[in-house]
A = this chain, B = another copy of it.
């Protein structure tokens, strides 16, 4: 991969990120690279802009550099994934699972990147389709997870889960998390799901606070088609959230269909990258 044009993305409307973005831009331009600024990035930073949404991004930029935390990376990933643009993250504060470059060590990492000392990890993305009356009424892509959970109710909701058309279980819980390996260290972990190595071709289905204590996380192939029906009563309400953002309120007669997305996310990993070291640091092991 030849890197000559870089898209620079920052936290949406967050002016505080501007100084770091400026510094990254200067470092990149000093190294002879062309820098384009993502259109949803803070207006505080000047420079030539690209529209995040409409452009065939892969023709305009060779890679995307995202400045922020894991949340900013998730947002950028959803934009970039359909274009096949590889991305790398610069973390502003604490070490992130997705952001590879510490702010305090920008130059060394940029030099490593431009010298080709990086690898590309292809991460599974999750495709979520809401089907009602036989029609797809919503489609979305997420990097971490899709979560169907109760909304403003103190009660459990009831789910039926099917995998490849076969009935798995009817369960009552606060919700269900379908997570990619990338998302296995996010919400799914809090709900009792396992850590999955990020490049595996699997998905996990984990119930949130299930009424039946033997309802445990299940790991399946990411070839599978997962279908979930969330039953409604007048008193319960369910939401669908992708990567932590509610995208839809459910009325109770939808089927949520989850599959691996057609595209993968290309994550740039600057060498040496060690996923286990990130796990140890983030989870406080040893």
Which residues of A does B touch, CB under 8 Å?
Answer: 147, 149, 151-155, 163, 166-171, 173-174, 181, 184, 187, 189-197, 199-200, 202, 204, 206, 208-221, 239, 241-246, 249, 274, 276, 279-280, 283-286
Contact = CB atoms under 8 A, between A and B. Distances in A.
24 contacts: A154-B242, A169-B276, A169-B279, A169-B285, A170-B286, A171-B285, A174-B174, A174-B190, A187-B209, A189-B216, A190-B210, A190-B211, A190-B213, A193-B194, A194-B216, A197-B220, A200-B221, A208-B209, A212-B284, A213-B213, A213-B214, A213-B216, A219-B219, A284-B284
Contacts of A244: 154-155
Contacts of A245: 154
Nearest to A235: B245
A285 B194 contact: no
Contacts of A209: 187, 190-191, 208-209
Contacts of A166: 274, 276
A204 to B, nearest CB: 7
A282 to B, nearest CB: 9
B195 A219 contact: yes
Given A194-B204, A213-B283, 7 more contacts: A147-B154, A154-B244, A170-B285, A200-B219, A213-B213, A214-B283, A219-B219
B169 A190 contact: no
Contact of A151 (B152, B163, B211, B219): B152
Nearest to A217: B194
A160 to B, nearest CB: 10
A218 B239 contact: no
Contacts of A249: 152
A187 B173 CA distance: 10
A206 B184 CA distance: 15
Contacts of A243: 154
